[in-house]
Amino acid sequence: MNSIWGNSEDLKNFKTLKGDLRTDVLIIGGGITGVLLAHKLQEFGVQYALVEADRVCNGVTRNTTAKITSQHSLIYSKILKEYGLEKAKLYYNSNQEALNEFRVKCNEIDCDFVEQDSFVYSLNRTDKINEELEALDKIGAEFEYIKSVSLPFTIAGAIKFKKQAQFNPLKFVSNIINNLNIYENTKILGFDGEAFVTDKGRIFSNKTVVATHFPIFNKFGLYFLKLYQERSYVLALKEAKTVGGMYIDENPTGLSFRNYKDMLLLGGGSHRTGKEGGNWHELTKIKNQFYPLSKEEARWATQDCMSLDGIPYIGEYSKVAPNIYVATGFNKWGMTSSMVASNLLCDLIMGVANEYSELYLPSRKILHPQLFNNIVENTLNLITPTTPRCPHLGCALKWNNAEKSWECPCHGSRFNEDGNLLDNPATADLKIKHRNQ
One domain, residues 264 and 410: no
> Which pLDDT score, from 0 to 100, does residue 8 have?
73
Other Cβ atoms less than 10 A from the Cβ of 380: the count is 13
Percent of the chain at pLDDT above 90? Answer: 85
Per-residue pLDDT, averaged over 298-318, amounts to 97
Q: Residue 276: give its domain's CATH number.
A: 3.30.70
One domain, residues 179 and 294: no
163 within some domain: no
Cα distance between residue 238 and residue 261, in whole Å:
10
Q: Residue 341: give its domain's CATH number.
A: 3.50.50.60
212 within some domain: yes
Band (pLDDT 50/70/90 cuts) for residue 382 is: confident
One domain, residues 42 and 21: yes
Given the DSSP bridges, would you call strands 21-28 and 201-210 parallel, antiparallel or unpaired?
parallel
Pick from 251, 277, 306: which residue ends a domain?
Answer: 306
Q: CB within 8 A of 285, min separation 6: which ones?
A: none
Q: pLDDT digits over 17-67, tens only?
A: 999 999 999 999 999 999 999 999 999 999 999 999 999 999 899 999 999
215 within some domain: yes
Helix or strand (DSSP H, E) at 326: strand 324-328
pLDDT at 437 over 50: no
> Which pLDDT score, from 0 to 100, does residue 433 have?
59
One domain, residues 267 and 403: no
Cα distance between residue 238 and residue 134, in whole Å:
38
One domain, residues 242 and 272: yes
**Where does residue 193 fall: left (phi above 0), alpha (psi -120 to 50 degrees), or beta otherwise?**
left
One domain, residues 317 and 339: yes
Per-residue pLDDT, averaged over 336-345, amounts to 98
Pick from 306, 333, 358: which residue ends a domain?
Answer: 306
One domain, residues 318 and 218: yes
Length of the chain in terms of residues written: 437
Band (pLDDT 50/70/90 cuts) for residue 105 is: very high
One domain, residues 243 and 390: no
Whole-model pTM over 0.85: yes
Q: pLDDT digits over 203-245, tens only?
A: 999 999 999 999 999 888 999 999 999 999 999 999 999 999 9
> Which pLDDT score, from 0 to 100, does residue 47 have?
98
146 within some domain: no
Per-residue pLDDT, averaged over 321-330, amounts to 95
Range with the lowest mean pLDDT among 2-16, 82-96, 213-227, 365-379? 2-16
One domain, residues 39 and 180: yes
What residue numbers bound the domain in which 389 lies?
369-423
Beta bridge partners of 230: 272, 304
361 within some domain: no
One domain, residues 293 and 323: no
One domain, residues 252 and 387: no
CA dihedral 90, 95, 100, 101 (to 10 degrees): 100
Q: Residue 391: give its domain's CATH number.
A: 2.102.10.10
The number of distinct structural domains making up the chain is 3
One domain, residues 259 and 295: yes
* Mean pLDDT of the chain, nearest integer: 94
281 within some domain: yes
